[in-house]
Structure 1
Amino acid sequence: MPYFIFILAAIITVIVAVKLSTYADIIGERTSLGGMMVGTLLLAGATSLPEVTTSITAIVVNNPDIAVSNVLGSNLFNLFILAVLDIYYRRKRLFSQVGTSHLSTGFMSFALTGFIFIAISFPTGYHFMHIGIEMYVLVAFYLVGMKMLFSAPTGDIHQEAASAVEPTFDTSAISLKKAKYGFALSAFIIFISGSFLTISGDAIATSSGLSSSFVGTFLIAGATSLPEAVTVIVAIQLANYHLAIGNILGSNLFNILILALADVFYRSGPILSAVHPITIISVVAVILLNILVIGGMILAQSNRFNGKMYPIPSTIVVSTYLLLSYMIFVLS
């Protein structure tokens, strides 16, 4: 029964999350919220809402492992999907399409994940209002990094993304009022389906003997990351490679901030101090895949891998993901 509920909740989450992104795009374009920063935050929040709801629900059911591993697993899965699609669409040479802002986002995600690694490996135990002191530092770094990204004169990739995805939906027939109601209803449905994802995932972990870290990192994270995968596929088909890459890297950056939100709801102390030791492998895996993806982008732009050699970096990313997944499964 838990498996059926999990699959059903995953399907509902994916379908509704895609609609949620459409409504968010309409709201951003037709209101004063259409600026680059606010619009991007609205869309990022929309596509990351499944991760938000599952992590918060995990705290409610007193399973901080799932709350943290869901975020890390989502970032892992996103990089994996990007590499898989780069191999599949190798003739389009996705990694050669990146700009300075993509690399900056990738480096920022790498830096914040590295900070999470340090926080888990060497917990201070200090907290303020039951929130780990590390989370205050994380949010400060995030805000400073976002300000630097948005102030850099690298073009509005997210606005290109919105215009590219728009043709796939008949948004002209959707009024602003309908979009607002649709956004609210979609958010509520995702809150419910995301909650069932976590509850059923927790039940699967208990009944199967799998650790919560493994279930959160792969089962739940994979389900909540499918909306990003759908968006990337659509973007590639529309030849908007900036969106395909920017969506993944931007979502990963936003997901890291969910850890701070989860710590707010976790009232038993710093959440990073309560996770299973196996979580450190997931953090290392995200850092390693970040390095490989950034390296692949740099190599692709330098034309060091041409023709049949082009897919090599992405193939290494996929192989590394599968190897690390097996290690986490065995050790969990």
Structure 2
Amino acid sequence: MVFAIFLTAAIIVIFAAIQLNKYGDVINQKSTWNGAMVGTFLIGGATSLPELTTSLTAVYIDNPDIAVGNMLGSNVFNILILMAFDFIYRQRKVFNQIEVSSHLPIANTGFAMTGLLVVAILWDHSPSFLSVGGEMYLLIFIYLIVMKKLDGEEEEVEQTSSLSLKQGIFRFTLAALTVFIAGSVLTITGDMIAQQTGMNASFVGSFLIAASTSLPELVTVLAAFQMMKYSLAIGSILGSNIFNLQLLVVTDIFYREASILNASSTSNLTTALLGLAMMALTIYILLRPSVKRMITYALPSAATIILYFIASYVMF
């Protein structure tokens, strides 16, 4: 019965995520926001809703390892999704076709935030205020500063949709609510299935549940690649990652026993370091000059995929 509910929720999430991407593109066409901004704020935020529900559920059952592992693991899996599609579509040389300046600040922010979490995990009994870790206040500060400086310049977008901006926003909101509800069911049943296997909480949170909650990002990026909306795809992944770290702040606020990173095990360090390494490779791809040879172009994405599976094997 649990497996049937899980599969049903997964199908609903896939359908809703496709609609999310579709109406996000309508907002991109009809508003002054460019593809990177729509992907970063709207789609990135909406596809992060299942992660929030999962982590808050983990807090409710007093399992900080799943809460922390889910957020860090989702970020790692999100980068894996982007790099996997970049490798599959390597002949298109996707990163050569985008406006780097729109995405680099978000990528750098994700790297800095993840690095801050690595330090906090390594720092035994790091400082906290009102049972919220000091690093969480810094995460909020970094997020607000970078978001304020983001340039939301208009870009030329082909008008292909007959829907109005108001219709696009309304349908986008409905799709986001569907992702939230079905994604919540998906993660709760996924957690139940995982518990039956007897795996440790950090691995379950970082890889199994994280993969489940990243299903909307997977479908969103696939749809964006098929529509050749590469800026939207990259923006949704990078935006979802920094949004997830803000949701970790929310999770820490609701976890009243102590700072959630102090309460969780150091086994989450592996996932955090993996995320840092994968973000570094992403930044390298954004910064490097345009590459013509397909093999040379695909090397960083291939290295990222290999790194993920090595880390998964080590943690398992």
Pairwise TM-score range, normalised by the shorter structure: 0.7 to 0.9
TM score, norm. by length of structure 1: 0.81
Deviations 1:32-60 (A, max 9, x none): xx667996534432222222222222222
Matched, 1:89 2:89: yes
Aligned counterparts of 1:146 and 1:107: Cα–Cα separation in 2 = 12
For residue 242 of structure 1, the aligned residue among 218, 231, 234 is 231
CA contact (8 A) 1:2 1:204 kept: yes
Aligned counterparts of 1:35 and 1:239: Cα–Cα separation in 2 = 18
Listed as ranges, the matches of 1:143-292 within 5 Å are: 143-150=144-151, 155-156=153-154, 172=162, 176=166, 180=170, 185-292=174-281
Matched, 1:309 2:296: yes
The Cα of 1:64 is off from its aligned counterpart by 2.0
SS class of match (2:276)? helix
1:268–1:20 Cα change, 3 Å: farther
More off after superposition, 306-315 vs 187-196: 187-196
CA contact (8 A) 2:136 2:249 kept: yes
1:26–1:93 Cα change, 3 Å: closer
1:63–1:190 Cα change, 3 Å: farther
One-letter amino acid of the counterpart of residue 16, structure 2: V
Deviations 1:199-227 (A, max 9, x none): 32332332211122222222222222222
SS class of match (2:150)? helix
One-letter amino acid of the counterpart of residue 275, structure 1: S
For residue 282 of structure 2, the aligned residue among 293, 310, 330 is 293
Matched, 1:318 2:298: no
TM score, norm. by length of structure 2: 0.85
| Alignment-derived partner of residue 68 in structure 1 | 68
The Cα of 1:274 is off from its aligned counterpart by 1.8
Q: Which runs of 5+ in 2 are unaligned?
A: none
The Cα of 1:133 is off from its aligned counterpart by 2.2
One-letter amino acid of the counterpart of residue 97, structure 1: Q
More off after superposition, 5-14 vs 258-267: 5-14
Matched, 1:328 2:315: yes
CA contact (8 A) 2:44 2:238 kept: no
One-letter amino acid of the counterpart of residue 118, structure 1: V
Aligned counterparts of 1:241 and 1:291: Cα–Cα separation in 2 = 20
| Alignment-derived partner of residue 56 in structure 2 | 56
One-letter amino acid of the counterpart of residue 223, structure 1: S
| Alignment-derived partner of residue 121 in structure 2 | 120
One-letter amino acid of the counterpart of residue 242, structure 1: S
Let me know the Cα RMSD of the aligned residues: 3.0
Aligned counterparts of 1:61 and 1:255: Cα–Cα separation in 2 = 20
CA contact (8 A) 2:120 2:126 kept: no
Aligned counterparts of 1:3 and 1:292: Cα–Cα separation in 2 = 36
More off after superposition, 34-43 vs 200-209: 34-43
1:17–1:264 Cα change, 3 Å: farther
More off after superposition, 127-136 vs 34-43: 34-43
CA contact (8 A) 2:224 2:232 kept: yes
Aligned counterparts of 1:125 and 1:289: Cα–Cα separation in 2 = 25
Count how many residue pairs are aligned between Structure 1 and Structure 2: 313
Deviations 1:128-177 (A, max 9, x none): 333222211110111112222337xxx45xx77xx57x85xxx6458947
Aligned counterparts of 2:165 and 2:245: Cα–Cα separation in 1 = 33
Deviations 1:216-250 (A, max 9, x none): 22222222222222222222233332223222222
One-letter amino acid of the counterpart of residue 195, structure 2: T
1:239–1:251 Cα change, 3 Å: same
The Cα of 1:127 is off from its aligned counterpart by 3.0
One-letter amino acid of the counterpart of residue 278, structure 1: S
Aligned counterparts of 1:229 and 1:194: Cα–Cα separation in 2 = 13
